[in-house]
Amino acid sequence: MAEQKFISELFLENNQFILVGLTGRTGSGCTTTANILESKEVCFPELNSLNNFYDGLDIRRYSIVRKFAEEHWENFYSIKVSDLISIYLLLLPTSKLDNFIHFCGINVTKKASTYLVKNGVLSKSLLKTKYINVIKQLLDHNAEIDFTDQKIQRSFIRILQLVRKFTRDLKQELNNLESGLYVSVYQSAGKSIRRIGKVDADYKIKDFIPSSVFHLPETINRVIKFIRKVKNGRAYIVIDAIRNPYEAKFFKDRYAAFHLVSINAPDEHRTRYLQKLHKFSAEQIKKIDDEESGKGESEYKHLTNPNVKKCIEISDIHLFNPKNEYDNNNVLKAQIAWYIALMQHPGLITPTSMERVMQVAYTVKLNSGCISRQVGAVVTDDDNSIKSVGWNDVAKGQIPCAMRSIDGLINDFQTETYSHYERNNENFRTKAGEFYERFKPVIQELNSFKGRNISYCFKDIHNSIDNKSNQVHTRALHAEENAFLQLVKYGGTGIVGGKLYTTASPCELCAKKAYQLGISEVIFIDPYPGITQDHIINIGTMSPKLVQFRGAIGKAYHRLYEQVIPIKDELDYMLK
């Protein structure tokens, strides 16, 4: 019995508390995933229901995790970010709510609040005296909430139930006012909260309050603490859905048990789903995608705007969600069984070959000296045997951008570090000097910048001279390109029929090179491949297949697949 207790305690942390944050583009399946996790009973699919989604040893791996997941399943409590944004909206005076809805719409002609009251959406039941204090305390992060108080617990649970219904009704009625208005209202509300800590139609012209970036995740965190208190510490919680990378970082920094999970659906499936079920036009879908990829215009857009593209990039686990059959979630359920079982019991199975190779690409990307984005790539044969690796960086013998500095460019004139063009072109040096002058007071005033190497991007400065966005002037080779060149540089076997793994997605130039080399599959993480698929890949008779990566990556790879103790020892202790 003592040995069994010892084993139980070793795995106790995993079994006691799991926190999952979902991210993904609108229509990819975050809400579907949250609903599955919320279910008290889940029937995980048999292998014959997965249309050969798993093959080889992955068939045995799935059989093991499926059995474990069914035996140890506990439903998650779902915190929907949209529900919490609803609370911010509910606390607005009617006139301000009207202004905000009209600000978000294009052709909203009716008075929004009158319409919503008439249709029973703006019910005041949430704002009754017994609820209002708890609601205000939730958003006031300086207020202490006594979650041990039974009355507050009952009120809190009732509030969350009422808000869930309110969000559902509001979504329908906003879209009745104008197609797609719900998405616009909640996206803008999120940006407003991150900028000024509340919802306001004039948020774009108000001064940015830096602490507001974490206002929404801190509200979510207060709900998490409440749930853990009510559940006596044992709780499985899913956040649906995280749209901003700084919000993801907030939870990564606070909870060892946190996993950011991206849900990725093929473009054509997701588009068809949004058009058929939500009646979105192609223009509306493009607008949503632009907003979610961080392209929205704002002075502090990298902090306040949604950036699902970046969230997917930093995700711990990537799930593939084919949506070609609307009610068929078997593939998604199978992956949920896989990773929830590993969260509960790390090391239950070994990684897939796809995970193993992508983990190498993920690791080698850290060698990159690019100051914009680090990318890793691996070339394998058709059996996933690694033949070369690469990362985006300057040619061997040159100094990486991260190791050069703007003050060195202006003052040092080192011939091995800075090019003849950088040292002598008058227009370039004028632009570089302007960048340097802007940074000097920042370096002097902020302690966090003291002693820092202030790097600069040659391409950005060069492009600013003639106001063009030209990718030709980058100093670095792409990761995929570098991996290809290693095969030539050091020799090796042919890779016709082999695979290319990349932590991003291949640009048109690298896709053409993969095509020419006879690569059969390009496995990528970033689901924003531009025109690569439509223009380069889907043509000809020997085109590579683009495959969305699925699996655990980075720290999660080790956290999920590294055994707490060797399986043999675990079984021995249990038998004793």
Q: What is the CATH number of the domain that holds 528?
A: 3.40.140.10
CA atoms within 13 A on the CB side of 549: 36
Q: How far apart are CA 395 and CA 544, in angstroms?
A: 27
Does any domain span residue 61?
Answer: no
On whether both 149 and 243 belong to a single domain, the answer is yes
Among residues 419, 446, 473, the one where a domain terminates is 473
What pLDDT is recorded for position 416? 93
Among residues 458, 473, 488, the one where a domain terminates is 473
What pLDDT is recorded for position 302? 72
For the chain, the average pLDDT equals 87
What pLDDT is recorded for position 155? 82
On whether both 244 and 280 belong to a single domain, the answer is yes
Those residues whose C-beta lies under 8 Å from the C-beta of residue 284, and which sit 6 or more positions away, are 179, 180
Q: How far apart are CA 229 and CA 503, in angstroms?
A: 39
On whether both 456 and 522 belong to a single domain, the answer is no
Pairing mode, if any, of strands 521-524 and 545-548? parallel
Q: Which domain holds residue 459?
A: 402-473
Structure tokens at 552: 């655990």
Does any domain span residue 1?
Answer: no
Does any domain span residue 337?
Answer: no
CA distances (Å), origin 317, targets 48, 310, 374, 538: 24, 14, 19, 28
Number of domains in the chain: 3
Q: What is the mean pLDDT of residues 507-527?
A: 88
Does any domain span residue 67?
Answer: no
pLDDT band with cut points at 50, 70 and 90 for residue 401:
very high
**pLDDT tens digits for 219-266?**
999 999 989 988 887 899 999 989 999 999 999 999 999 999 999 998
On whether both 543 and 427 belong to a single domain, the answer is no
Q: How far apart are CA 179 and CA 189, in angstroms?
A: 17
Calculate ∠ Cα 279-280-283, nearest 5°. 150
Q: How far apart are CA 559 and CA 346, in angstroms?
A: 7
Say which range, 137-146, 205-214, 370-379, 399-408, has the weakest mean pLDDT: 137-146
Return the HEC string of 459-515: HHHHHHHCCCCCHHHCCCECHHHHHHHHHHHHCCCCCCCCEEEECCCCCHHHHHHHH
Q: How far apart are CA 18 and CA 397, in angstroms?
A: 47
Structure tokens at 281: 């036009």
On whether both 310 and 433 belong to a single domain, the answer is no
Say which range, 151-160, 294-303, 392-401, 540-549, has the weakest mean pLDDT: 294-303
On whether both 469 and 480 belong to a single domain, the answer is no
Does any domain span residue 285?
Answer: yes
List, in sequence order, every residue forming a beta bridge with 262; answer none if it has no partner. 23, 318
On whether both 414 and 554 belong to a single domain, the answer is no
Q: What is the mean pLDDT of residues 345-371?
A: 97
On whether both 284 and 412 belong to a single domain, the answer is no
Asked if 561 contacts 545 with a C-beta cutoff of 8 angstroms, the reply is: no
Among residues 473, 490, 523, the one where a domain terminates is 473
CA 161 to chain centre: 27
Percent of the chain past pLDDT 90, that is, above it, reads 53
What pLDDT is recorded for position 530? 63
On whether both 200 and 290 belong to a single domain, the answer is yes
Does any domain span residue 5?
Answer: no
On whether both 229 and 96 belong to a single domain, the answer is yes
On whether both 149 and 161 belong to a single domain, the answer is yes
On whether both 370 and 295 belong to a single domain, the answer is no
Does any domain span residue 329?
Answer: no
What pLDDT is recorded for position 297? 60
> For the purposes of burial, counting CB atoms within 10 Å of the CB of 429, is it exposed (0-12), middle (13-18) or buried (19 or more)?
middle
